[in-house]
Structure 1
Amino acid sequence: MSLLLIALFAAALIVGAPIAVALGLSSAITILAYGLPIHVLAQRGVNALDSTPLLAVPLFILAASLLSAIGVTQHIFDLIRMLVGRIRGSFAQVAILVSLIFSGVSGAALADIGALGRIQIDEMVRQGYKKNFAAGLTIAAATIGPIFPPSIPIIIYASVTNVSAVQLLIAGVVPAILITLFLMLQVAVMARLYDLPRDTVKPTVREVAAKAVISFPALLAPLILIGGLLSGYFGPTEVAGVTVAYALLIGAFIYRSLTLKAILDGLRETVEATASILFIVSTAAVFAWVLTLDQVPAKAGALLLGLSDSPFVLLLMVNLLLLIVGMFLESIAAILIIAPIVAPTLHAAGVDPLQLGIVFVLNLMVGLLTPPVGMSLYMVSIIARMPVHSVVRGVLPFFIPLILSLLVVTVVPAVSTWLPHLISQ
């Protein structure tokens, strides 16, 4: 049964079917071929969407869209640019820091690229950076978004593995900061090696102070979000709703730049993005049910434990598996298909569920940078109007800090477990 399912899924992908269609179609044909009740398609698909944490997905998408529409991105960008100064490669460092801050409201790599990509790439090229460097840095920095809370992939991972979404979101804080530091270190090295340009901005103290005042409400958005999670007053869904309300409040009464058209555009974008994500969630649930019916999770678990019972060795094997899978599968689909298979085995072997969740998501975010299905590559290719192979060439140096971050998170469990365990005490 599983062989037929996987063969049909692979065939659908090869002919160019969307991931959700490939998952649903292969599952439906397999169910019919083995005489299973066809109503399972609807039942399993709907049950997968009956999840409170998933309510956070459309709300975070809407919040990111509204905050981008009212100019939060530009305010944060301008302030950090003034603060970093005119060190060599400073604008590249600004791009990394802005990605960290904006990730506190976006929750997705593609959202970061959509909001920041064109601004960053155009300005870096204007200052004298090579275009492929600018594109590569933009993609690499966007991987921070799905690790730092709020993170849509982390919320989905938590929903399919029965791990606390709040604790898992908090577990992403330190790894995201670690990725940021490694990326900044990489840029600092490249700045010396390749004589990267200095920023052209020369602000006065008064200009910096004025921009800080203007930017304060924008900077407060991620602080409210993180503070709500850390305090325990809000779960992922509640904090997503609060973030939307805050975006509407500052857009209407402080910045006064939020128009009815921007709200309608944000709602339209939210519906489209949410429909795409939840379609994958629904069809992947049916796909995973067929695999479970054929006892694939149990067989895979027995195989892994037969190879080794060391948590560290099992984590390394999962890293290798996910790096390969991330090259071919969209990240949310990969989470929904693979997490229910490998997570129970690694939990039983002693791997901390929080560490595994961060390792899992970080692996798949690296997959966004790798052909042939690296969505970030194609999105930046469109934004920057450059061929994909040039984008790939630009992103290659940034695999070093990303893989190094992945190794640290894998080898040192405390990087992802220390903060949530501290908060829960």
Structure 2
Amino acid sequence: MDITALILLFVFGVLLAINVPIAIAIAISTLATMLVTIDSLPAVTTLAQRMSAGMDSFALLAIPFFIFSGFLMGQGGIARRLIDFAKVLVGQLPGGLAFVNVIACALFGSISGSAVAATSAIGGFMIPAMNKEGYDKNFNTAVTVTASTTGMLIPPSNILIIYSLASGGVSIAALFIAGYLPGILVAISLMCVCGIYAKRRGYPVGQRESFATAIKKTVGAIPSLFLVVLVIGGIIGGYFTPTEAGAIAVVYSLVLSMVIYKEIKPNQIPAILTKSVTTTAIVMLLIGASAAMSWLLSYENIPQEISAGLLGITENKIILLLLINVLLLVVGTFMDMTPAVLIFTPIFLPIVETLGISPLHFGIIMILNLSIGLCTPPVGSVLFVGCSVGKTSIAQVIKPLIPLYIAMFIALALVTAFPQISEYLPKAFGLY
């Protein structure tokens, strides 16, 4: 391996080990590697230029809009109405509250585009409710944590926009529509585990809603659910771009939260805006730093060396995909999704394209794979938030997480082996 790659890995690993924030670790390790071959001033200037260039994309404007709309949804009463709707659908089944948790997390995650937001909003309601009904607290937290990651696949999803940028322009509309079936597959896999777990533990069956109550709760959730139709339908229909869809999502969320549901007051908007700006700044710093590292890797021909190394091991499509999936699973345990996508897409995408795998299919594989990392220690952000909401510890949650991990691995294997799961809908809608 080239000396520059070794320096990059060493500095990056040391910084992560001493708990330096991931964006800072990426930027410093990139700069340290540059300093080996060029003077300090050109190195700093190049780093700044590459970070700036990495954030200079019109498509990325969609991210702050979706982040803001996600915060509005989290405080605007949408989570509670989606939970009520999920109860109408599956609440009367054995272990129904666990099913409600999965469906509500998937719905809210898809609407807000944030796994962390889904964990906080849905977990805040569902974990105490499940505790009250006699469900195990650690199991409840584990279900919330894993189910919230489905929002990374079901659109609108910020990480799919970032993958589009990293891949060199895969259609965002095609990626959005491609995420539906894999996201639903993950949710169904988790629900199967929940059903088995609930039956073995003898968890209670929820009460069947009266017809009038079911209609009332369904009607109450329709305005929230319509946001997905508005955003995705508008993008697929060509009425507006993903960035414009983000702006429309903000306006719609404001009207929904302040006018229809009346759960956000005007004096709460500044605080929500502050949270949105802070989150956006973190995301954009990650994007800029990761883009700089990605440029350095490309400049040093490291992707080509890795590609040659992997193809030198084997040219078997199945084995290579297995190796890449294992590598991404390892990466996902210690790196956030945004830098992982920006850094490793240029490395692995050329390899899988030589095997005849489409960038669209690989993007869904990568996002699903890295989503598992969101709920695994030591860095899983969703896992930490879930344990905080559930008032438990990571050590206690790991045991009930294991069967849910297995379900997600099975879903990943199916999506990897059958590209039709990712590509069917985009082809059906003429997007790919």
Map Cα deviations across residues 359-402 of structure 1 (whole Å, 9 max, x no partner). 00111111112212122221112112212101222211201221
- Alignment of 1:344 with 2:347, yes or no, is no
Inter-partner Cα distance in structure 2 for 1:24 and 1:90: 46
Match of 2:93 among 87, 97, 101: 87
> Counterpart of 1:190?
197
> Counterpart of 1:41?
47
The answer (yes or no) to whether the contact 2:325–2:369 under 8 Å persists in 1 is yes
- Alignment of 1:30 with 2:37, yes or no, is no
> Counterpart of 1:308?
314
Query: Which aligned pairs between 1:171-250 and structure 2 lie closer than 5 A?
Result: 171-199=178-206, 201-250=207-256
Map Cα deviations across residues 176-234 of structure 1 (whole Å, 9 max, x no partner). 111111112221222222212222x4532222222222222122112222222332323
Match of 2:419 among 402, 413, 417: 413
The alpha carbon displacement at 1:30 in A equals: 2.0
> Counterpart of 2:289?
283
The answer (yes or no) to whether the contact 1:69–1:262 under 8 Å persists in 2 is no
Q: What is the letter of the counterpart of residue 246 of structure 2?
A: A
Query: Which aligned pairs between 1:254-273 and structure 2 lie closer than 5 A?
Result: 254-273=260-279
The answer (yes or no) to whether the contact 2:74–2:117 under 8 Å persists in 1 is no
Inter-partner Cα distance in structure 2 for 1:368 and 1:168: 20
Map Cα deviations across residues 92-125 of structure 1 (whole Å, 9 max, x no partner). 1111111221122211211211211121111110
Moved more, 340-349 or 16-25: 340-349
Q: What is the letter of the counterpart of residue 101 of structure 1?
A: L
The answer (yes or no) to whether the contact 2:62–2:243 under 8 Å persists in 1 is yes
Indicate the percent of aligned positions where both proteins have the same amino acid.
34
Inter-partner Cα distance in structure 2 for 1:238 and 1:247: 14
The alpha carbon displacement at 1:77 in A equals: 0.9
The alpha carbon displacement at 1:134 in A equals: 0.1
Inter-partner Cα distance in structure 1 for 2:22 and 2:215: 48
> Counterpart of 1:20?
23
Q: What is the letter of the counterpart of residue 49 of structure 1?
A: M
The answer (yes or no) to whether the contact 2:91–2:99 under 8 Å persists in 1 is no
Structure 1, unpaired ranges of 5+: none
The answer (yes or no) to whether the contact 1:323–1:366 under 8 Å persists in 2 is yes
- Alignment of 1:358 with 2:364, yes or no, is yes
The answer (yes or no) to whether the contact 2:235–2:245 under 8 Å persists in 1 is yes
The 1:366/1:313 distance shift into structure 2, 3 A limit, reads same
Inter-partner Cα distance in structure 2 for 1:138 and 1:374: 14
The 1:105/1:262 distance shift into structure 2, 3 A limit, reads farther
The alpha carbon displacement at 1:260 in A equals: 1.6
What secondary structure, in the 3-state scheme, does the structure 1 residue paired with 2:8 have?
helix
The answer (yes or no) to whether the contact 1:60–1:105 under 8 Å persists in 2 is no
The answer (yes or no) to whether the contact 1:60–1:244 under 8 Å persists in 2 is yes
The alpha carbon displacement at 1:338 in A equals: 1.1
The alpha carbon displacement at 1:82 in A equals: 3.1
Q: What is the letter of the counterpart of residue 283 of structure 2?
A: I
Match of 2:173 among 157, 166, 171: 166
What secondary structure, in the 3-state scheme, does the structure 1 residue paired with 2:74 have?
helix
Match of 2:12 among 9, 12, 21: 9
Aligned residues: 424
The alpha carbon displacement at 1:131 in A equals: 0.4
The alpha carbon displacement at 1:258 in A equals: 2.7
The alpha carbon displacement at 1:403 in A equals: 0.7
What secondary structure, in the 3-state scheme, does the structure 1 residue paired with 2:32 have?
helix
> Counterpart of 1:331?
337
The alpha carbon displacement at 1:246 in A equals: 0.8
Moved more, 80-89 or 410-419: 80-89
What secondary structure, in the 3-state scheme, does the structure 1 residue paired with 2:429 have?
helix
TM-score normalised to the size of structure 2?
Answer: 0.94
The alpha carbon displacement at 1:252 in A equals: 3.1
Inter-partner Cα distance in structure 1 for 2:324 and 2:407: 20
> Counterpart of 1:297?
303
Match of 1:384 among 359, 368, 390: 390
Inter-partner Cα distance in structure 1 for 2:272 and 2:174: 29
The answer (yes or no) to whether the contact 2:114–2:151 under 8 Å persists in 1 is yes
> Counterpart of 2:147?
141
The alpha carbon displacement at 1:300 in A equals: 1.1
Match of 1:402 among 385, 397, 408: 408
The answer (yes or no) to whether the contact 1:89–1:198 under 8 Å persists in 2 is yes
Q: What is the letter of the counterpart of residue 276 of structure 1?
A: I
Map Cα deviations across residues 320-378 of structure 1 (whole Å, 9 max, x no partner). 11111111211212111111111122113211111100100111111112212122221
Map Cα deviations across residues 239-284 of structure 1 (whole Å, 9 max, x no partner). 1111111111222332233312332222111111111111111111
> Counterpart of 2:69?
63
The answer (yes or no) to whether the contact 1:311–1:351 under 8 Å persists in 2 is no
Inter-partner Cα distance in structure 2 for 1:232 and 1:403: 35
What secondary structure, in the 3-state scheme, does the structure 1 residue paired with 2:150 have?
coil
Q: What is the letter of the counterpart of residue 391 of structure 1?
A: V
Q: What is the letter of the counterpart of residue 329 of structure 1?
A: M
The answer (yes or no) to whether the contact 1:58–1:271 under 8 Å persists in 2 is yes
The answer (yes or no) to whether the contact 1:170–1:229 under 8 Å persists in 2 is no
Inter-partner Cα distance in structure 2 for 1:285 and 1:46: 9
